[in-house]
Structure 1
Amino acid sequence: MEFGNYVQLWGKPTPMKGKNFYYVNLEDISVNGERVHIPPRTFHIGQHGRGGLILDSGTPLTYLVSAGYWPLKALFLNHAKLELDIPVNGRMCYYGEYADLFRGLLPTMTFHFEGGLDVDVPPAASFKYYGNNRVCAVFKESNLGLSIFGSLMQRNLMVGYDLGEEKIYMANTKCIG
């Protein structure tokens, strides 16, 4: 972790939209390169400060409002090559082992943010192995009135905050450890 005026910011920026949290505009999501075509402004903060999507390193799961979650889930189910298991706490689960997260049996998602920033989220960041041959999504439907891009999906992602310019930079990376 680095602070100060001379920190190197990696990746492409997306504008920050809120003053109280790290709000960003998510334009769409892709599953294995196929766009979900989420309705426009689904993940934008409203004029009265409601809704939107925040980056939150203190919230493990990713929460997506219904208008974005359900089309994403439908497309995701079409691309997954593992057998569906019983949901756990509202999250999709599949029969699988830890190694399946790296075998191409679950799709990669790409989050398309305002400004041309595309963030790839591989299965090892969008699913977690829970033992007993079960892997479960780390994203689910939000009932919070807003969406949250949680810390588990930020694994192997370099995130930089330029508070003066009100931009957030993100780049996929390979963290050690």
Structure 2
Amino acid sequence: MGKIAPCLVILMLFFLQLSCSSFNGTRLELKYIYSNGNLTKSELIHRALTGDKHRIASLRSASSASTTGANLPIHWGSSAYITDFAIGTPAQSISVLVDTGSDLIWTQCKSCTTCFSQSTPPYDPSQSSTYKNLPCDNTLCTALPKYSCSPDCTYLYSYVGGTSTEGYLSTETFTLGSDAVPGMAFGCGIVNSDAPDNSSGILGLSRGDLSLVSQLGVGRFSYCLASYGDRSTSPLLLGSLANLSSSAIQSTPLVENPIAPFSSFYYLSLGGITIGNTLLPISSTAFELAADGSGGLIIDSGTTITYLIDEAYQLVKQEFITQMSDLQPVQVSGGLDLCFSVPAGTTSLSVPRMVFNFEGAEMRLPGNNYFFLDSDNGLLCLMMNSMEGISIFGNYQQQNMHILYDVDNGLLSFEPAECNQL
């Protein structure tokens, strides 16, 4: 065989690079995991809060582990959103939980030996002409927390809380919207100890090398979560489509963990909280990431309500009690700490405003994003609680906010939006 001319090699490399970077952007649709059921909003929230128990326990454990530079996957939340896309040639549809707190993309495979029940057919790699196992020397294999060679790359992804998935790290063609993207790495789950609710796996959107955003190389994504109980879909926008457009855009830095700079979590710098006209006397260090990597506040798509470090939460709780003195606090069970008794059948109430004072940005939450009016049971409940070790800005507070993660530039931007109309 004759030699290939150098200019032809350069031309071939140019077109190879062009084909690998041709993905520009696309839109996926998000659905709340229980949107197809007949649950009331109160029942949706109760179920989500039950699922939060595992999520916050794992976040607390992962935060503690970060002091050693460890980056542990966290348990998926029952309060999360799912999206559908296709993998393989010909394409097979999968339905996965969207998780900003982890990086691995994985789905249960038909050849699983320990399997969970799922509503859609499991992905069958034997029916795809583009499925390939990754070798152990691939950089994405070595990016896994745990892997082995037999002889190809096999992964063990153990989530905090005892659940796990184990299988082959492979590549496949992903069909995202109208775009077919070859060579995407994902986990073909063979031994799966638990089921992510109403889905076949996880779609990781963190900063890790294995996440969808990192593999696509788009550097940015956004989502807009419709109101709880709204059965319409919400957008997940990747790449060039991830843009905000109103005059109300605000931006705050994404903060790096000093011990684990490539942590899966998206940390924010929160300086304080305002209730009504009162800036709460929260210490300046309450939400800071400590030098040992502990603490801080993360924004998370898989946790329902906002959990504040106890020092801050108690001040929030007491200020609402003080400013809402015409209502009687009552004890309730089920994951919420502060509720007020209201007349049954009440359909609207005015509540003090709440502002999260992020570095460089003020997020003024609508009342429906931090109080839930349960008309049937005569309750008005604060959708926040306390925890130790770390604070979490949950998805209930993110309703009808278009939130843009500009990973390349280290910014999180947001604007109010009607998410079901985007």
TM over 0.5: yes
Greater relative CO (CA pairs within 8 A, separation 6+): 1
SS for the counterpart of 1:64 is: strand
1:52-79 C-alpha deviation (Å, 9 max, x unpaired): 0000111001100012111111111111
**Once superposed, what is the RMSD of the aligned Cα atoms?**
1.9
Return the offset for 1:123: 2.2
Structure-2 change in CA distance of 1:156 and 1:6 (3 Å): closer
Are 1:162 and 2:406 an aligned pair? yes
Q: Give TM-score, length-normalised by structure 1.
A: 0.88
Mapped to 1, the partners of 2:301 and 2:387 lie a distance apart of: 17
Q: For the structure 1 residues 6 and 90, does the alpha-carbon distance in structure 2 shift closer, same or farther, using more than 3 Å as the test?
A: closer
Return structure 1 stretches of 4+ with deviation > 6 angstroms: none
| 1:57-96 to 2 correspondences below 5 Å | 57-80=301-324, 81-88=326-333, 89-96=335-342
Alignment of 1:8-157 (within 5 A): 8-9=243-244, 11-18=249-256, 19-80=263-324, 81-88=326-333, 89-96=335-342, 99-100=347-348, 103-104=349-350, 106-115=351-360, 117-130=361-374, 131-143=376-388, 145-157=389-401
Residue type matched to 2:239 in 1? G
Report if the CA contact (8 A) 1:120-1:172 is conserved. Answer: no
* Cα distance, 1:98–1:121 mapped onto 2, change above 3 Å: farther
The DSSP-based 3-state class of the residue aligned with 2:315 is: helix
Tell me the distance in 2 between the aligned counterparts of 1:49 and 1:3: 29
Q: Alpha-carbon deviations, 1:13-33, whole Å to 9, x = none? A: 111113321100110000113
Give the structure-2-normalised TM-score: 0.39
Q: Please state how far the C-alpha of 1:8 moved relative to its aligned partner.
A: 1.5
Assess if the C-alpha contact under 8 Å between 2:266 and 2:299 holds in 1: yes
CA–CA distance in structure 2, aligned partners of residues 27 and 171 of structure 1: 19
Larger Rg: 2
Cα displacement string for residues 142-168 of structure 1 (whole angstroms, at most 9, x for unaligned residues): 13x100000011112111000000110
Query: 1:33, 1:110 within 8 Å by CA — same for their partners in 2?
Result: no
- The residue identity in structure 2 corresponding to 1:14 is T
Q: Secondary structure at the match of 1:37?
A: coil
Q: Distance in 1 between matches of 2:418 and 2:399?
A: 9
Q: What one-letter code is carried by the residue in structure 2 that aligns with 1:28?
A: G
**Deviates most, 70-79 or 128-137:** 128-137
Residue type of the alignment partner of 2:281: H
